[in-house]
């Protein structure tokens, strides 16, 4: 049974020009509600009163219930449905019954005890979108649903993603009140021109102010996201951003090379030849400088894009990279439970109506068979600097990687892309520095 939960908040003040995540600026939502009203008016003009009334009922009276309000209620209900005493659809997969007796893992429960059973969570991650856009009532709603559904007595890490423009002391206290103990703040750059080019709505000064407020509120585990290979970005600007972030002294830094994704404003600019990006050579230069510079200040790289001080790795993301199972709730959210990867509806109306009517929110299911699971363990393991744990892999699949991919492993060891290494009395197969630069090429050979 999973011990991690991802919660998706798809709302933003404004969608960034490079973002392809499932998120919506508030202006987009207002436009959607306006379109729904137009549909009703058209049906009224046609005197199609029945369809008009049905649509109006389906929209749940937008005068008093906005998409955001309806979404938050549906989200909280979906969370509560994860409580196995409420949602018997989990019975077949999560526990077995015999004459009104239940077994969860190796532990026995009577039919009365199961009603009081709550899954223990070790990590929670609220992502988006911009979760920090939520108001105090919405934060509290979320907290109530989580505490009602799960046992948090062994919770190790509870992260919420925030943007500088929506951080204030009241919200921080509300986040802490529901159990948040880690903040991930999207800063991206310390150069205002770069922030503006990215479509961000905060300044570097606002980012510093938000960070200082978090520290004053005694948040002692902060991640900062930064980006490189940005349009018109120089190496000196990248160096400047790194230095400014180091001065803040966060516990964790995530650094991502810009990828131009289809469906974004940047993609259209790229297709039209008006997006001036650094060369691949400059991209690698920025990346290698980042690794070496952060190491000097005590940030060790534990994953391709992630750096932390000692014992400050993101425990929730390690769940993904170690191919462990997790719950996912919210619009378009993915989960991985009992060997099945599932994804929710990405359409607001379908998602909300499904939750509120008691139907499934799941639109896709993928059974992860042994062949796929073996490959994913290799692929995700290579993202980690430690690499693939040989004993762990054998315990899970019954053989060592070398027994299946002997020729491929020998090839990449010979070419300098892979290496065997020992750490903390465990053996690993890992990418070399050169291997990380061509990680996709190496990994594709294992397919």
Measure the CA–CA gap between 406 and 239, rounded to whole angstroms: 41
Instruction: Compute φ and ψ for 210, nearest 5 degrees.
Output: -65, -40
Residue 94 clears pLDDT 80, i.e. is over it: no
Residue whose C-alpha is closest to residue 287's, from 225, 226, 223, 228: 228
Q: Evaluate whether 404 touches 396 at the Cβ level (below 8 Å).
A: no
Q: Quick check: helix, strand or coil at residue 253?
A: strand
Q: What is the pLDDT of residues 70-88, one digit of tens each?
A: 999 999 999 999 986 444 4
Q: Which long-range contacts (CB under 8 A, 24 or more apart) does 273-280 make?
A: 275/231, 276/231, 276/232, 277/229, 277/230, 277/231, 278/229, 278/230, 278/233
pLDDT given for residue 33 in this prediction: 58
**Mean pLDDT within 122-131:** 97
pLDDT given for residue 199 in this prediction: 95
Measure the CA–CA gap between 76 and 215, rounded to whole angstroms: 29
Q: What is the pLDDT of residues 251-267, one digit of tens each?
A: 999 999 999 999 999 99
Q: Quick check: helix, strand or coil at residue 401?
A: helix
Residue 280 burial (10 A CB sphere; 0-12, 13-18, 19+): exposed
Interior angle at CA 283, CA 282 and CA 285, nearest 5:
60
Which domains occur in the chain, in start order? 387-444 (1.10.10.10)
What does the CA dihedral 288, 318, 363, 79 come to, rounded to 10 degrees? -130
Query: pTM (2 decimals)?
Result: 0.88
Residue whose C-alpha is closest to residue 128's, from 68, 214, 213: 68
Q: Evaluate whether 286 touches 240 at the Cβ level (below 8 Å).
A: no
Q: What is the pLDDT of residues 152-173, one digit of tens each?
A: 999 999 999 999 999 999 999 9
Q: Name beta bridge partners: 25.
A: 12
Interior angle at CA 334, CA 350 and CA 7, nearest 5:
85
pLDDT given for residue 438 in this prediction: 96
Which band of pLDDT confidence, cut at 50, 70 and 90, is reported for residue 406? very high
pLDDT given for residue 1 in this prediction: 86
Per DSSP bridges, beta strands 4-9 and 182-188 are unpaired
Q: Show the tokens assigned to 24.
A: 């919506």
pLDDT given for residue 47 in this prediction: 53
Q: What is the pLDDT of residues 269-310, one digit of tens each?
A: 999 999 999 999 999 999 999 999 999 999 999 999 999 999
pLDDT given for residue 45 in this prediction: 55
Which band of pLDDT confidence, cut at 50, 70 and 90, is reported for residue 27? confident
**Mean pLDDT within 24-29:** 78
What's the mean per-residue pLDDT of the chain?
89
Q: Evaluate whether 9 touches 131 at the Cβ level (below 8 Å).
A: yes
Q: Name beta bridge partners: 222.
A: 183
**Strands (DSSP E) along 101-168, which ranges?**
101-104, 107-110, 119-120, 123-128, 150-151, 157-162
Q: What is the pLDDT of residues 307-335, one digit of tens each?
A: 999 999 999 999 999 999 999 999 999 99
> At how many degrees (to 10) do helices 136-149 and 67-80 cross?
20
- Sole residue written with tokens 């709505």: 201
Q: What is the pLDDT of residues 372-402, one digit of tens each?
A: 999 999 999 999 999 999 999 999 999 999 9
- ω before 149 within 30° of 0 (cis)? no
Measure the CA–CA gap between 66 and 29, rounded to whole angstroms: 9
Interior angle at CA 193, CA 187 and CA 197, nearest 5:
80
pLDDT given for residue 31 in this prediction: 66
Which band of pLDDT confidence, cut at 50, 70 and 90, is reported for residue 26? confident
- Sole residue written with tokens 């002997």: 406
For residue 140, the Cα-to-chain-centroid distance in whole angstroms is 21
pLDDT given for residue 5 in this prediction: 98
pLDDT given for residue 90 in this prediction: 40
Q: Evaluate whether 140 touches 161 at the Cβ level (below 8 Å).
A: no
**Mean pLDDT within 414-421:** 98
């Amino acid at each position: 049974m999973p011990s991690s939960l991802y919660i998706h908040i798809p709302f933003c003040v404004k969608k960034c020009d490079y973002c392809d995540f499932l998120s919506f600026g508030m202006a987009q939502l207002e436009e959607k509600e306006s379109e729904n009203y137009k549909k009703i008016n058209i049906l009224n003009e046609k005197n199609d009163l029945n369809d008009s009334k049905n649509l109006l009922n389906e929209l749940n009276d937008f005068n008093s219930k906005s998409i955001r309000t309806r979404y938050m209620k549906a989200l909280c209900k979906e969370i509560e449905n994860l409580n196995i005493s409420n949602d018997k659809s989990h019975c077949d997969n999560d526990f077995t019954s015999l004459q009104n007796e239940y077994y969860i893992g190796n532990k026995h429960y009577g039919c009365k005890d199961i009603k009081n059973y709550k899954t223990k969570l070790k990590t929670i991650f609220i992502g988006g979108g911009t979760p920090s856009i939520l108001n105090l009532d919405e934060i509290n709603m979320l907290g109530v649903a989580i505490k009602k559904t799960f046992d948090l007595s062994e919770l190790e890490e509870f992260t919420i993603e925030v943007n500088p423009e929506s951080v204030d002391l009241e919200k921080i206290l509300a986040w802490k009140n529901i159990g948040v103990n880690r903040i991930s703040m999207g800063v991206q750059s310390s150069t205002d021109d770069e922030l503006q080019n990215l479509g961000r709505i905060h300044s570097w000064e606002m980012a510093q102010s938000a960070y200082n407020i978090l520290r004053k509120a005694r948040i002692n585990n902060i991640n900062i996201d930064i980006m490189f290979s940005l349009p018109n970005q120089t190496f000196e600007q990248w160096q400047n951003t790194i230095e400014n972030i180091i001065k803040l002294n966060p516990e964790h830094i995530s650094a991502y090379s810009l990828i131009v994704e289809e469906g974004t404003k940047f993609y259209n600019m790229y297709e039209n030849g008006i997006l001036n990006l650094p060369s691949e050579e400059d991209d690698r230069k920025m990346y290698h400088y980042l690794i070496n510079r952060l190491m000097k200040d005590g940030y060790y790289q534990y994953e391709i894009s992630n750096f932390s001080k000692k014992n400050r790795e993101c425990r929730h993301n390690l769940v993904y990279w170690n191919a462990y199972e997790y719950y996912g709730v919210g619009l378009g959210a993915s989960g991985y439970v009992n060997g099945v990867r599932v994804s929710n509806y990405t359409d607001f109306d379908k998602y909300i109506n499904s939750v509120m009517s008691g139907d499934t929110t799941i639109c896709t299911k993928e059974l992860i068979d042994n062949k796929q699971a073996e490959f994913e363990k290799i692929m995700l393991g290579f993202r980690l600097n430690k690499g693939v744990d040989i004993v762990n892999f054998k315990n899970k699949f019954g053989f060592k990687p070398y027994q299946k991919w002997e020729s491929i492993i020998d090839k990449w060891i010979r070419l300098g892309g892979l290496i065997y290494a020992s750490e903390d009395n465990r053996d690993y197969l890992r990418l070399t520095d050169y291997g990380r630069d061509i990680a996709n090429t190496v990994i594709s050979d294992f397919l």
